[in-house]
Copies of this chain bind each other. A is one copy, B any other.
Amino acid sequence: MAIQTLPFSTLISIERTSATPVFRQLAGAIITLISNGKIKPGHQLPSTREMAGLIKLNRTTVVAAYDELSAQGWLEVDGRKGMFVSKRLPVVGPQSFKSANHSTSDGSGEKDFYRQISFGRPPRHEVKPFHLMINDGYPDHRIAPLNSIFNRYKTLFTKNHLQGPLLTGNPAGSLSLRTELAGFLSKTRGLNIDSENLLVTAGAQLAIYIAASMVLKAGSTVIVADLNYILADKLFEQLGAKLLKVKVDEHGIDVDAIEEICSRSRPDLLYIIPHHHHPTTVTLSAERRMKLLDIISRYQLPVIEDDYDYDFHYNNSPVLPLASADHNGYVLYVGSISKNLAPSIRMGYLVGSVDFVKQASRLKQLIDIRGDVLYEESIAHLFSTGEMQRHLRRSVKLYRQRRNRFCELLKASLGNLVQFTVPQGGMAVWITFPEDYSISELSDRLYEKGIYMNDGSIFRYSDTVNGIRLGFASLNDAEMETFAHALAQVR
């Protein structure tokens, strides 16, 4: 069976009329393949029997060629395992994928046929291991009901005739999941929607990307908060839009500034995170919310409402999303299931009018055809059995305790060095340092102790704010204490 070997019969051509013996021709051809990197040091060659079959030569000829190559040091025998290209040979680097005109590191590669994208988390700390990670707001995967999801998945996977019907379904995603989500979102957020208003995506980011792609084109304008979730800003720019930045304070985004912009010239989009704004964790006040709904209605302003964290509020009275009010379909609502379970599980959703969702589903099909429908069905099962709801109740209770404990510990270990407000919800605390304090150096000192903490540089594109998000939800008591202890030592 030749499937996992190169197609040697097309790579090796033997001239039977040549003066060179066939076994030497074969050996020469193999040397060429090794020299130009087609076969690499350490790779196994087919057995003499297999090779003889592949290239239609007598087996003794192949034996002779392999012997010759072994003698020359190109090949070596590894016990009974077979014949390998010598590991001592230098690896020949990729030639085929070596660009002719190397673009210099950033931005200046104008001669290339593809875009340069001026964005990226800095690649530091990639190699060295660490024992504790302080993320910017992940759930604790250790309490997620993974076994329930996988058991359901296996059941669905092995049902003979099930995959077909699921795969021919709606590109908006599993009907069961959309139905369960519609009920869940109606009950918890008053959205009052049906399955037809829902598009399931591989994470909230894809939901934002699809929504923005549906609305924006080159030259469009988008109102965003300053500061804002940076991956949203960058994707709007990537789609050719111009950002109009509006300040955010302790009551949320400055709604009067939004109105002023609209009164001059209606923007194409407003992107807003009303609950536990990213990065600052502030929540839009009820008063501003009402004002904003009025602006949306008067100016027919399309909105992406990113409500990734709604399920995690620790007070009794969350303000309802904008999307639950009357808005004639202008509010596109984005949520995350990843945030309910574990960061590695990629699932989110987009809510809009029935026609919007129909169009957006077509775009989704062009982007990734569909998600893993069986996974979606398995998550739907979590909702229909009530396990998701129980999991969320447990999570909220646990994260509330962790938020309280984490804030106490921060106060104790950093004292007056930082400022922060205890967040009403979400999974992270936003702390700010004095302007001249280097969070990056703090991060380096923590890293020496095996603690990885993002240095916040990704959010620091406003020169006036020196802040960082510290996720508490994924840390148990011992981990919080380890972190706090290290902070106190290296601050």
The interface of chain A, by Cβ under 8 A from chain B, is 1-7, 9-11, 36-38, 40, 43, 54, 92-100, 102-103, 109, 112-117, 119-121, 123, 125-126, 129-133, 135, 138, 141-142, 146-147, 150, 153-154, 157-158, 160-161, 163-171, 184, 186-194, 197, 201-203, 205-206, 209, 214-215, 218, 231, 234-235, 238, 268, 286, 300, 302, 311, 316-320, 323-331, 342-346, 351-356, 358-363, 365-375, 389, 392-393, 396-397, 452
For the complex formed, measure the closest distance between the CB of A444 and the CB atoms of chain B, giving whole angstroms.
15
| A163-B344, A188-B4 as given contacts; A359 in contact with B135, CB under 8 Å | no
Q: In the docked arrangement, what's the CA distance between A221 and B209, Å?
A: 24
Q: In the docked arrangement, what's the CA distance between A160 and B475, Å?
A: 11
* A102 adjacent to B355 (CB under 8 Å): yes
What residues of B have a CB within 8 angstroms of the CB of A327 in the complex?
96
Q: List 27 A-B contacts (CB under 8 A).
A: A5-B188, A6-B188, A38-B190, A38-B192, A40-B192, A43-B186, A96-B325, A96-B326, A97-B193, A99-B355, A114-B356, A117-B359, A117-B362, A121-B171, A130-B161, A142-B160, A146-B157, A147-B154, A150-B150, A150-B154, A163-B344, A165-B452, A166-B344, A167-B343, A205-B366, A238-B366, A344-B375
Q: In the docked arrangement, what's the CA distance between A161 and B450, Å?
A: 11
Q: In the docked arrangement, what's the CA distance between A168 and B147, Å?
A: 25
- Who on chain B is nearest to A450 by CB? B161
| A319-B10, A367-B205 as given contacts; A113 in contact with B300, CB under 8 Å | yes
Q: Among the listed B97, B218, B331, B355, which residue makes an inter-chain contact with A218, where contact means beta carbons less than 8 Å apart?
A: B218
8 tightest A-B CB contacts, nearest first = A133-B164, A99-B329, A100-B328, A117-B362, A235-B366, A37-B192, A99-B353, A114-B214
What residues of B have a CB within 8 angstroms of the CB of A102 in the complex?
355
* B113 adjacent to A141 (CB under 8 Å): no
| A146-B157, A209-B368 as given contacts; A11 in contact with B190, CB under 8 Å | yes
What residues of B have a CB within 8 angstroms of the CB of A170 in the complex?
123, 126
For the complex formed, measure the closest distance between the CB of A153 and the CB atoms of chain B, giving whole angstroms.
8
* A117 adjacent to B205 (CB under 8 Å): no
* B318 adjacent to A368 (CB under 8 Å): no
For the complex formed, measure the closest distance between the CB of A450 and the CB atoms of chain B, giving whole angstroms.
10
What residues of B have a CB within 8 angstroms of the CB of A93 in the complex?
194
What residues of B have a CB within 8 angstroms of the CB of A190 in the complex?
6, 11, 38
For the complex formed, measure the closest distance between the CB of A394 and the CB atoms of chain B, giving whole angstroms.
10
- Who on chain B is nearest to A131 by CB? B161
* B362 adjacent to A119 (CB under 8 Å): yes
For the complex formed, measure the closest distance between the CB of A162 and the CB atoms of chain B, giving whole angstroms.
10
Q: Among the listed B153, B231, B363, which residue makes an inter-chain contact with A117, where contact means beta carbons less than 8 Å apart?
A: B363
What residues of B have a CB within 8 angstroms of the CB of A138 in the complex?
167
* B3 adjacent to A96 (CB under 8 Å): no
Q: In the docked arrangement, what's the CA distance between A171 and B231, Å?
A: 13
